[in-house]
Chains A and B, each alone.
Chain A
Amino acid sequence: MKKNKAVAVSGMGCLCAAGLNVADCMAFLFQGQRYPAPPLSFSGRGSHPVFEITSDFYVPRHFRQKELPRTSCLAITAAREALADAGLDEDYFRRKRVGVCLGSNVGGGLSGTFLEQWRIAESDPYILPQYRYLGGNPARHLAAEFGISGPVQTVVNACSAGGDAIGLGAAWIRMGICDAVIAGGADALYEITYLGFMSLLNTDAKACKPFDIRRKGLNLGEGAGMMLLESDEMLAERDKKARTYVLGYGSAADARHFTAPHPRGRGLRLAMKEAMASAGISASDLAFINAHGTGTADNDRIESCVFSEDFPGIPFLSTKGYTGHTLGAAGAIEAVFTAACLEQGRIPRSAGFSEPDPELPACPVHENREISGSTAMSDTLAFGGNNAVLILGRPEKTKGGG
């Protein structure tokens, strides 16, 4: 495994239950609040709390956009923020070779709306869903929103999709096939996933408690996280600076069990090794780790073991306690949080954690704290044994500058 060139991130956007933009989310995280509640969008289906976005966040720009699935609306909203953050003029942007690489759990087709249509259309039960499904690709909707031309990919690696999409999109810049890539993840909360996770007995009936001894499972959430990846040439042409960099990416499969993570975190370690090698850094270079930390018994135990053995003394946290598990968006939202924390030089306390579990060899940070260093790691573990790891921050040579 060889070291890869760092890829510049010139803009970021994100929305979830913690806030409707990056700045609001960050402020919310450091205030240490959270308000999980039973789902509103499909009320009556269960009492386990979720982290839902309850305010209106989406403004359609064209008449037809009113019909977009919620996942696409989330993706577009976060991408608009990332582009504005990068200071991009949309006409200029359209003339460039711009790719879209988006991670999502199931795409937009199987949303709540879809289910409603399915039930209503009793006389002709298959037509509407098919129509929905064909039009339901959120990556395609993103490309249409900005009128871009270039490669488009929809990554459906379950809960690691958002992290994978950023890592895969960065390769498009390195290989010179794109000037810019809108990369990230999006997922709306929907009923099938909610009931499915409940049937797997891994949702918490109260607010989730990642890494805590009383942890009972995850809470689902929804949202989107987007990064605008940009080539050095395009940045120079616009006379702009990178906000942060994608320094490394690694992914690996556990190749062991469909729903349970590998007991010793085999795939997670392989993915971390690849990410560190491609970033050309070692464990001691990391300022902190943004853990997957869902709040399920197995996930948190394995992550804690891997951190304590391979990254001793590196502070880590889970932001799932503020956002819930946003599935395909999680890797991307957490990548945005990781980069923003590095900028602010501090990390929030790991919400939900108060009492250490003696079975876990390492515990997350229990209060907001300052950090020093210019690189950090964000990891995600997915259904099916997928693991994706991103290293974000500033390359050594531009430390303090650029």
Chain B
Amino acid sequence: MRIGIAGIGVVGGFGCGHPALLRALKKGSAETAWKTIRTAGGDMEVPALCADTSALADYVPLRTLRRNDHYTRMALLGSFLALEDAKIPPGEALHRMGIIVATGLGSTCNTLDFEDIMSGKNAVCSPTLFSNSVHNAAAAHISIFLKSGGPNLSVNQYELSVPSAFMTACHWLREERTDTVLLGGVDEFSKVGAYYRFNCEKSGKSGKSSPPVGEGCAFFILTSDPEKIRYGYIEDAFAGICPAETMEDSGLHPLMNGISHCSDLWHRPPSGVSGGLCSTPLQEKSGDLPHCPVEMGENTILMCDRETYEKTAAASLRIKKTARKTDTAISCSRLYGSLPVAMAFDIAAAGLIIKEGIRNLPADLFLHSPGDISPAAPVCCLKIRENNELGFVRLLPLHPLFPAKKGVKV
């Protein structure tokens, strides 16, 4: 079974809808705004990439949104855009569509404002505010607006929320729990994050070059119907912990020679165990990709933030004693800012690169000297955190090398 992306809906500092993201991608930048945050030390102005949800009025009457805060409005708009892009009319055949929302901060921004209320004299708090503060608020509101009674999941594990959501979406589709999954990553502008960043920069803890705090969402329609797949296949997705020896010493290092190898290597079973540490079983994968060239990783496009890239480069240098040169590495974070669900935007950008057959991008987006993009290149969206924790989603282009095969079952 091949799983792929049939529709994309994005909202962020670059604008609303994937045409806006594509424009920003070609231009290599997005307009930064300024936002005022209130702190104990007085108001401060911080740069921000914010999302505008006014287009939501095109999809639902405003009065039905009276209990939806900015966070759930972003998620709703992203969902409508993704459905529209996949040409699924809302309300049609949605009763068993799966919904997965990944969020790094959840409704935390709400919850924090709501603490202001609490730390006052009140012994109670607004029930509406409280009910919107639960972490599954966005996924629940989407299911209500779309009347979609399928499986509904919210995951919240900071920067690994998005790959974790993709991992489960693939499981649902493979186990045929559902044939369509609406999956999105959403995070609201975090004043906590902005303040934290401000202070880090003031004390020299992070480079001035890092993008401002962003907000927004990227939603996807994932399907196993080969006819509907337009933005590439999801070859693999994983969020979790990589074995220490794999990270540190052995030749199985996923970061060693092209990130693209990581899932292949994880598929190589440790002694005495069948299958690998990846989210797709070994047998299925090899059966699915008989034509897959072994050196597929050589021209892989790596999409990640600078921090992750530096970690891969350092690992490469330590193990191979040479700096990496061969792969293409891109960071689009200047288009949407820094936020925990950044990977969702990377996946959207990767889908657009695949669909539009983009061969070159502005030099600012490359994490090394710019180069051409191979049209047949797989894209690996990666995030590496501390303590061997990492997540990735690998996309394969819609290329003759990787034909969609109908009727192939596990």
Contact = CB atoms under 8 A, between A and B. Distances in A.
Interface in B34-62: 39-41
Nearest to A106: B135
Interface string B111-138: 1101100110001111100110111110
A2 B172 CA distance: 12
Interface string A139-158: 11001100011111111111
Interface stretch (B8-16, B227-235, B240-248, B345-353): B240-248
Nearest to A148: B241
Contact of B154 (A97, A155, A198, A257): A155
Contact of A155 (B123, B155, B387): B155
A126 B115 CA distance: 13
Nearest to B193: A130
B275 A177 contact: yes
Contacts of B171: 168, 171-172, 175
Given A119-B119, A157-B154, A256-B144, A168 B168 contact: yes
B153 A123 contact: no
Interface stretch (A53-61, A299-307, A370-378, A380-388): A380-388
B148 A158 contact: no
Contact of A140 (B157, B177, B244, B279): B157
A256 B175 CA distance: 27
B139 interface: yes
A384 B136 contact: yes
A39 interface: no
B192 A151 contact: no
A153 B239 contact: yes
A124 interface: yes
A96 B388 CA distance: 16
Interface in A1-52: 1-2, 4, 45-46
Contact of A196 (B131, B149, B388): B131
Contacts of A192: 111, 114-115, 118, 125, 130, 133
A126 B130 contact: no
Contacts of B223: none
B140 interface: yes
Given A130-B196, A143-B241, A151 B167 contact: yes
Contacts of B244: 149
Interface string A86-121: 000000000111011000011101100001001100
B131 A4 contact: no
B239 A125 contact: no
A156 B156 contact: yes
Given A123-B41, A384-B136, A199 B124 contact: yes
A144 B386 CA distance: 12
Contacts of A149: 240-244, 246, 277, 388
A342 B167 CA distance: 33
B152 interface: yes
Task: Give the interface centre of A106, A127, A384 by most chain B CB atoms within 10 Å.
Answer: A384
Contacts of B183: none
A258 B140 contact: yes
B343 interface: no
16 contacts: A99-B240, A110-B108, A118-B115, A133-B108, A149-B246, A151-B240, A156-B154, A175-B279, A176-B275, A192-B115, A195-B124, A195-B125, A196-B133, A200-B130, A255-B144, A274-B177
The 6 A-B pairs with the shortest beta carbon distances in the complex, nearest first, are A384-B140, A196-B130, A156-B135, A151-B240, A253-B143, A126-B195
Interface of B: 39-41, 67, 99, 105-106, 108, 111-112, 114-115, 118-119, 123-127, 130-131, 133-137, 139-141, 143-144, 146-158, 160, 164, 167-168, 171, 174-177, 191-193, 195-196, 199, 238-244, 246, 270, 272-282, 387-389
